[in-house]
Structure 1
Amino acid sequence: MTIIGVLTRGTIASAVSGVAGGIRWLSNIDMALALVLAVFIFVVGPTVFLMNIIPGAITEYFGTLPDMLGANMSEGEDMQTFLSSWTTFYWAWWVSWAPFVGVFTAKISRGRTIRQFVLGVLLIPSSIIVLAFAVLGGTAIWLQRRASELDAAGNTVGIADPDRAIAPDGTIESLPAPE
């Protein structure tokens, strides 16, 4: 209850003070905390693994982007299952928030050049998100692999018990069912 109370007061205070005041201040604190967390995980976690995975993930993303953008129901049963898992809630969420995000982006971009807009709204945030996903997701993948590594005798080689891994046998079939 205390955490909810503090967060509620902070949200109300930042919203009342406007974009130039509390929202900017709160956003800067959030970005600093996120950066500290990502750097901590990168340095303390599997640094070499992450340095190897980041360029490969970026290359894979841009290599598969055309196929992902053109995905449709006529591509087979697997694609139909994947696309059907995006429920009405997700579509309604995106459709309802798109106008607000567009107006907010237009408001904070007023007076900026096209170059500043492209860098500040498209390229820089996308790069930060890719790095965050690579660090956090890469660390989760590394932990999953380490938890499910077994030697020939069936003994745990990794840092954890394979029965406590998200996918105990390391395959997609043993993942828990999605909500």
Structure 2
Amino acid sequence: MRLQQNDRGTLLIVAMLIILVLAGLALIAVRNVILESRQVGNFRASEQSLHITESGQSSVIAVAVEKGDSFPVFVQANNFKLSMTDIADPFFDTNPKGSFGMEYVNLGDGTNVNFVTEFTQPVDTNRVPGYPVSEQFVWKKYRISTSGYFGDQQISMQGGKQAVDDTLRNSNRQYVSYTFVGPYIIGGGGQ
């Protein structure tokens, strides 16, 4: 049986449409695999530690606003470091069905979910974004470095080396920012 000239073109178009449909189905399958892999494993642990770090940074700034004049003394009394338990206890629900969704292991007493914020020594300045330069007021400028940790297992040190079971998920993220606390009246007084 011989194909006519018109039949050859029709077969080509049908073959291209079939290939296009199969390519679309393949893209949908790849998208589903990518979404599922983002919800489990290392990517999920990494995203959780990022959110822990964000909440740690925000909560420390909220404490600075809440404490006002006493914040520099509070930070100095804590040796320029604030951890999750210094802010609030308990901060996250670490049960298997708690703050982090369904987990196959209990994150325990909070040692596997933590953030630590370190401050530099405050620097007095009268130049603050959004405020006019004034010789009557001074602000305390801090460099804030917040590290957030999320994992199934606490990283331990054995013989000076980190001992990590690589079958478990551990992730650490860090944010660095600057904050200004004040204004303080020069020559005494508070905010």
Under TM normalisation by the shorter chain, which class is it?
under 0.3
Relative contact order, CA 8 A, sep 6+: which one is greater? 2
| Structure ranking higher in strand proportion | 2
Name the larger-Rg structure. Answer: 2
| Structure ranking higher in helix proportion | 1
**TM-score normalized by structure 2?**
0.21
